[in-house]
């Protein structure tokens, strides 16, 4: 087995983000900051996922643990701070592929066996994530309207802006891909007040500490540098 790559999302760019990256790197994992390029923040719909993922092959990686920040579509089941390891996704308005021929007709998915390993390791090492659920990818960068959230909530459990696209490209490159999603907010219209980036910062800081502790406990179980 090759090396593990950990892809960090927007929840690792705020307070505690450097500690999260350091915790993963200390275990020998290759680290990717999804939203960072040359020190600048990259909006979700502008991320070049092939450019982000292809260098991992040169670093000997064969699997990816992707950390994502999501909004909960089910506040009664998935409160702020919950962890979800999705088993499927909806991304109807996206057409991501690294191919320009018939190979683009792929059937993407989260890697089942690798996903099971992630869930088992996280359950042993800390807060057990929810096993399964549907991730709905919106294009972004804006937040969704309450009407859009009502539509999504009929079919999915969490909403984000990157994981589905990243999963498709990772699979085409031959990388096993599993995602651990951290609920940083309730989706627009499901909580009190308006959804905003500023309102999410306090919860993200708390979640960042939990995420750092989880990675420190879990990565040795996952064999970050191969086994």
Contact 73, 149 (CB under 8 A): yes
Count CB atoms within 10 A of the CB of residue 141.
10
Of 98-112, 122-136, 183-197, 203-217, minimum mean pLDDT range: 203-217
Contact 42, 36 (CB under 8 A): yes
- Cis upstream peptide for 169 (omega within 30°): no
Name the token pair of 15.
Answer: 């307070």
**Positive or negative: CA dihedral 155, 9, 33, 196:** positive
pLDDT of residue 72: 97
Q: What are phi and psi of 129, to 5 degrees?
A: -80, 160
Contact 64, 178 (CB under 8 A): yes
Count CB atoms within 10 A of the CB of residue 119.
20
pLDDT of residue 106: 87
H or E segment at 186? Answer: strand 176-186
Sorted by where each starts, the structural domains of the chain and their CATH numbers stand as 3-222 (3.40.50.1580)
pLDDT 10s digits, 131-147? 999 999 998 899 999 99
User: What share of the chain in percent tops pLDDT 70?
Assistant: 92
DSSP-derived letter for residue 75 is T
Q: Look at residues 151, 226, 224 and name the one whose alpha carbon lies nearest to residue 188.
A: 151
What's the CA gap between 84 and 70, in Å, rounded? 9
pLDDT of residue 16: 63
Name the token pair of 183.
Answer: 């609920």
What's the CA gap between 5 and 98, in Å, rounded? 19
pLDDT 10s digits, 35-88? 987 778 899 999 999 999 999 999 999 999 999 999 999 999 999 999 999 999
């Amino acid at each position: 087995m090759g090396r593990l790559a950990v892809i960090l999302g927007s929840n690792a760019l705020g307070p505690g983000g450097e500690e999260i990256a350091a915790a993963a790197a200390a275990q020998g994992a290759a680290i990717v900051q999804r939203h960072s390029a040359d020190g600048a923040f990259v909006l979700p719909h502008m991320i070049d996922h092939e450019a982000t993922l292809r260098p991992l092959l040169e670093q000997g990686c064969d699997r990816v643990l992707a950390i994502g920040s999501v909004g909960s579509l089910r506040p009664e089941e998935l409160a702020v701070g919950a962890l979800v390891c999705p088993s499927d996704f909806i991304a109807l308005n996206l057409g991501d592929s690294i191919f320009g021929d018939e190979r683009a007709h792929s059937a993407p998915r989260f890697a089942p066996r690798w996903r099971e390993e992630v869930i088992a390791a996280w359950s042993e090492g800390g807060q057990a994530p929810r096993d399964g659920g549907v991730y709905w990818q919106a294009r972004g960068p804006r937040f969704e309207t309450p009407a859009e959230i009502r539509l999504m909530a009929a079919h999915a459990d969490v909403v984000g802006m990157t994981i589905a696209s990243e999963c498709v490209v990772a699979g085409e490159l031959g990388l096993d891909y599993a995602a651990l999603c951290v609920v940083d907010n309730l989706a627009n219209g499901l909580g009190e007040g308006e959804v905003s980036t500023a309102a999410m910062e306090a919860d993200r800081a708390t979640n960042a500490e939990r995420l750092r502790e989880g990675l420190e406990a879990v990565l040795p179980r996952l064999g970050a540098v191969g086994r």
